Amino acid sequence: MKWGFRWYGEKGDSIPLNHVRQIPGINGVVGTLLGKLPGEVWEISEIQELKNSVESGDLELLGIESVAVHDAIKAGTSERDYYIDNYIQTIKNLSQCGIRMICYSFKPIFGWAKTDLSFENEDGSLSLVYDQEVVNHMQASDMFKLIHSQSKGFDLPGWEEERLNKFDELVATYDGVTEEILFNNLTYFLKKIIPVCEEMDVKMAIHPDDPPYEIFGFPRITKNLEDLKKILNIIDSPYNGLTLCTGSLGANPDNDMVKIIHEVGEKINFVHFRNVKFLGERKFKETAHLSSEGSLDMFAIMKALVEVGFDGVIRPDHGRTVWGEIAMPGYGLGDRAMGITYSQGLLEAIQKMKN
């Protein structure tokens, strides 16, 4: 496995690269071009600039998270072919720069949602929380206001103001789009891009829904094992793969993470490793990575990854905000650095016990 860390670039991240470099055992970062709107082509010069900046910090650019899919593609409007052509150009440009993995998602409007980005834990650390009760009393547009009011001034991925300022237009785009239609639109997209990915040696990794159930009535097609298998069946190729996000799928107690890993293991191209604690029906918080802190058995999850022979990029996902750090909610240095060290400990123990 290669150990990565999500990094938003010199301008977008509060964490300097040399601090990331000091995490023991780190191989590189998973990066992005912050400010790129869905549908825009990523130019080679821009990608190369990001790559150079990562490599100047003695780290590897392990993949991209994310290249966002334009709403015209997800909703299947008449403009989709134009945006798919742009996406294909971005894949080719990334490949030319030596990038071999793209994380993406196929969710209408909401890439992810939480109802509190700074919930204070008993020890004073801050966590992200989701509570369906709160969502039940909200309009979809209120979710934008909530996230923006709690973003601490950071640009949060998936919540770009330019896109969301046109919220009503965006909602109208998805009028009549059912789960079945959304899935058919994903099929259309994958059939166009996967042959290019095969040729260019760039692996796609679709990210599951967070939370993994329907909110505000928008269709969700990456919420459980059945959904994931259906997507993998569209095209059976190592390039049509998954991001196994344990905290996203794991937020539904019905999702058995170990079973999921065993069933789709060979198609896992990227792992987001994190823990969540169930607080009630459709209510959970993101916790420190340790099994004892949350509801997921992180040892069992790591063991399953070893059993299926996963050897791709793994990174600690959202952590708490600790030690008074000023950071993007979920993306502070302290708790993710502790999380990665813990995860590496699990891996070392599991590997050594096998021998």
Residue nearest to Mn ion (CB): 245
Q: How many residues sit close enough to Mn ion to count as binding (CB under 5 A)?
A: 3
| Contact string 273-312 vs Mn ion (x = CB under 5 A) | ----------------------------------------
Whichever of 117 and 177 has its CB closer to Mn ion, that residue is 117
Assess 272 for contact with Mn ion (CB under 5 A).
Answer: yes
CB of 302 to Mn ion, least distance (A): 16
Whichever of 83 and 273 has its CB closer to Mn ion, that residue is 273
Assess 128 for contact with Mn ion (CB under 5 A).
Answer: no
CB of 274 to Mn ion, least distance (A): 7
Whichever of 144 and 273 has its CB closer to Mn ion, that residue is 273
Mark the segment that binds Mn ion (CB under 5 A) among 8-16, 40-48, 63-71, 267-275.
Answer: 267-275
Q: Secondary structure of the chain in the HEC alphabet? A: CEEEEECCHHHHCCCCHHHHHCCCCCCEEEECCCCCCCCCCCCHHHHHHHHHHHHHCCCEEEEEECCCCCHHHHHCCCCHHHHHHHHHHHHHHHHHCCCCEEEECCCCCCCCCCCEEEEECCCCCEEEEEEHHHHHCCCHHHHHHHHHHCCCCCCCCCCCHHHHCCHHHHHHHCCCCCHHHHHHHHHHHHHHHHHHHHHHCCEEEECCCCCCCCCCCCCCCCCCHHHHHHHHHHCCCCCEEEEEEHHHHCCCCCCCHHHHHHHHHHHEEEEEECCEEEEECCEEEECCCCHHHCCCCHHHHHHHHHHCCCCCEEEECCCCECCCCCCCCCCCCHHHHHHHHHHHHHHHHHHHHHC
Q: Which residues are catalytic?
A: 207, 245, 272, 317-318, 331
Mark the segment that binds Mn ion (CB under 5 A) among 92-100, 120-128, 190-198, 244-252.
Answer: 244-252
CB of 296 to Mn ion, least distance (A): 13
Mark the segment that binds Mn ion (CB under 5 A) among 68-76, 77-85, 216-224, 239-247.
Answer: 239-247
318 with 331: CB under 8 angstroms? yes
**Segment 308 to 347, residues that bind Mn ion, using CB under 5 A:** 317
CB of 266 to Mn ion, least distance (A): 20
CB of 208 to Mn ion, least distance (A): 8
Identified binder of Mn ion from the candidate list 147, 245, 251, 314, rule CB under 5 A: 245
Whichever of 13 and 317 has its CB closer to Mn ion, that residue is 317
Contact residues for Mn ion, defined by CB under 5 A: 245, 272, 317
